[in-house]
A and B are shown apart, each in its own frame.
Chain A
Amino acid sequence: MNAGRPAQTRLHWWWVAGATLALVAAIIAGVMIGVVDLSPMDVVRSTLDKVPFVDIETGMTTREEAILWQIRMPRVILGVVVGSMLSAAGAAYQGVFRNPLADPYLLGAGAGAGLGATLAIAYASDTADWLVDPLPLAAFVGAIVGVSFAYFVGYTVRSGRTSVTLILAGVSVAAFLTAIQTFIQQRESDTLREVYGWILGSLNTAGWGEVRLAVPYVVVSLAVVFGGRRLLDVLSVGDTDASTLGVRPGRIRLVIVIFATLGTAAVVAVSGLIGFVGIIIPHTVRLLTSASYRVIVPLSILLGGAFLVVADIIARTAVAPAEIPIGVITAIFGAPFFAIILRTSKGVVS
């Protein structure tokens, strides 16, 4: 697992430039492409019109403006936020657990959020008079509770406590929560499609409200993971060696897991369980560039956003005007893409 120290730890400017370019291109494509044909010039004019002190006649109807600014734009932005967060959280989890299979849902965040969402869908349907929409809140709380539960179970193990113990605790907690979720879903079968749709993940109902909901948590979470990228490198030598280097692996792990979970919970709350992003993006970066988290974390943030925006373009246009769950796209296109990277790359998955 810790074979070979990362040789290349420098973050070359052209990597950053390339990843940024990919993100910007994805955003532009995301805004330009859609089921409804909006003329690119109108989109540009309408965008400039939003700039302070600029007033341009856009030539768009009210409905076209609504499609651009209230549906497509927040959807693209949310795609960036969700993709960046899941990729960064995936990288962080892989780092603190020194496990290439770790993903943001590893410690029960996904199962907990799924249970929370199922409870909200099944038992809190009439939400017209509610102060807050219970669905994202329940998913958020569920994710946090799931991970806390896993951490608690892992922590109460007395002897030989390692990151593996924690992963095992996470696996058992996730299985347990999923079982409860399935049980409730069976009993409330009329909610089946809604629950199922939520689990596959979607940005279809995204608006600025969802963006506002997720962004504060994601910003804090990304800042912590980004700030901890050197510590992730230190952890990659193993707990014992890391201790001799003067860091406390258990504490670092706890802090990074807390913040990665916070961000993951926030994006899961607004977009459901979009799978695969947290695994393939960090690994793709690792294979193409370097095994150092000083490289992996920032590039994963940029490319994760780009990847999810592109996946979402496919989700909403491939069988237009019908929608494909985005989780299906991330797996269908992500898996072969990742396999190609794996085959052609000289990099080491460590």
Chain B
Amino acid sequence: MDRKALIGVVAVAVVVVGFFLFRLVSNNGDEEAMSTTTLGKTTTEPVESTTTSPSETTTTTSGATTTMQPADGGFPVVIDAPNGPVTIEKKPMRIVSISPTSTEVLFAVGAGAQVVAVDDQSNFPANAPVTDLTGFTPNVEAIASYDPDLVLLSFDPGDVIGGLEALGIPVIMHPTAVSVDDAYMQWEQVGAATGNIPGAADLVAETQLSMSSAVETLPEGTDALTFYYELDPTFYSATSSSFIGGLFDLTGMSNIADAADPDGFGFPQLTAEYIIGENPSLIYLADTICCGQTTETVADRPGWSALDAVMNGAVVELNDDVASRWGPRIADLVDDIVVSILDLELVDA
């Protein structure tokens, strides 16, 4: 008796609360909408490239990693993607990207007009056709409803790739790049897959030139500088083993998180007092959008006002999105990093 009554009461409560909750969270009853639009970074967890290794990409000349490339933009083409060889029969005109990085790359290589839908996190460039598709829990049917002839994604939860391929849709998976060269390789593959090989080659060349000339403006002695890169306010950081850490390494500074990462995992959580003890010359915040961190909130943290970087105004607010992607805006990011170092030298002088 009592148990029945209990179950009855709980059932009613569940229905009532569940109803209100659903009203609260769902997008005005739009059941297709699997995610409310949020600002925020894409995943910064290390996505290991477990598929066929693209590590042999030392060269950055266009087409280096594609095979059977008939001519400039000719089709069919076979892309040696990280998820295996992908055959694309003709120039894709209905591309769906559920990776914010891939979206940026598509537009940068000149394939923007061929893109019909991008995921809800793809907030750059502004003219990308944002939909409510989600890259975190992608739905094969929702993607297929755009009738795509090419799908790009950055990871494959629940074998979305298998589902799409079963429908005859070619899929390229470009996971978080492990190095700058790896990123270039992905960009070139995007160029080859979409018939924009020259555009991709230009993009790679421009990015290389931009980053190397920015780094050349750095004075001697940056190796004496240290920095702390913050992923969130609980002191998760990125080490030299990560893609973003590799960009910072170009400047010659040393990363205080490296000591916490003997296995090259890439994203350790640092102990608060270690950061204070290391007294990094520069602090980079990649949690300004996700977590509302600013130079002021950092200065207000217990003990942090004693840091040189806080006193020197060397706390740099980065754009989380740029810092968590391996797209064309890495050149801007390196520019920002270089400028922050030059500013610091001015303070010291």
Contact = CB atoms under 8 A, between A and B. Distances in A.
Interface string A179-201: 01001101111111110010000
A321 B40 contact: no
B235 A323 contact: yes
B6 A169 contact: yes
A168 B291 contact: no
Contacts of B259: 321
B291 to A, nearest CB: 6
Contact of A190 (B3, B268, B290): B290
Interface in A121-163: 122, 125-128, 149, 153-154, 156-161
A63, A197, A317: most-surrounded residue (chain B CB, <10 A) = A63
A105 to B, nearest CB: 19
Contacts of A317: 271
A319 B43 CA distance: 25
Interface residues of A, number: 60
Interface residues of B, number: 59
Contacts of A189: 43, 134, 136-137
A218 to B, nearest CB: 20
Given A125-B290, A128-B294, A323-B271, A71 B303 contact: yes
A65 B137 CA distance: 47
A6 to B, nearest CB: 30
Interface string B232-249: 111110000000000000
A56 interface: no
A321 B274 contact: yes
A189 B41 CA distance: 10
Interface stretch (B9-17, B69-77, B82-90): B9-17
B261 A322 contact: yes
Contact of A62 (B261, B301, B306): B306
B271 A187 contact: no
A74 interface: yes
Nearest to B136: A189
A165 interface: yes
Interface stretch (B30-38, B48-56, B108-116): B30-38
Query: From DSSP, what is the main secondary structure of chain A's interface residues?
Result: helix
The 3 closest A-B pairs by CB, nearest first: A207-B302, A36-B277, A70-B303
A25 to B, nearest CB: 21
A200 to B, nearest CB: 10
14 contacts: A36-B273, A62-B306, A63-B307, A70-B303, A71-B276, A156-B9, A157-B6, A169-B6, A189-B134, A190-B41, A190-B290, A204-B235, A205-B234, A320-B260
Interface in A312-346: 316-317, 319-323
B256, B273, B276, B306: most-surrounded residue (chain A CB, <10 A) = B273
A67 interface: yes
Contacts of A321: 256, 259-260, 270-271, 274
A125 B291 contact: yes
B292 interface: yes
A69, A71, A180, A208: most-surrounded residue (chain B CB, <10 A) = A71
Nearest to B232: A194
B27 to A, nearest CB: 10
A347 interface: no
Given A35-B273, A204-B235, A319 B303 contact: no
A202 interface: yes
Given A183-B25, A190-B40, 12 more contacts: A159-B5, A160-B2, A165-B2, A168-B6, A169-B10, A172-B6, A176-B10, A190-B41, A193-B44, A194-B291, A202-B234, A323-B271
Contact of A188 (B38, B272, B297): B38
A209 interface: yes
B21 interface: yes
B269 interface: yes
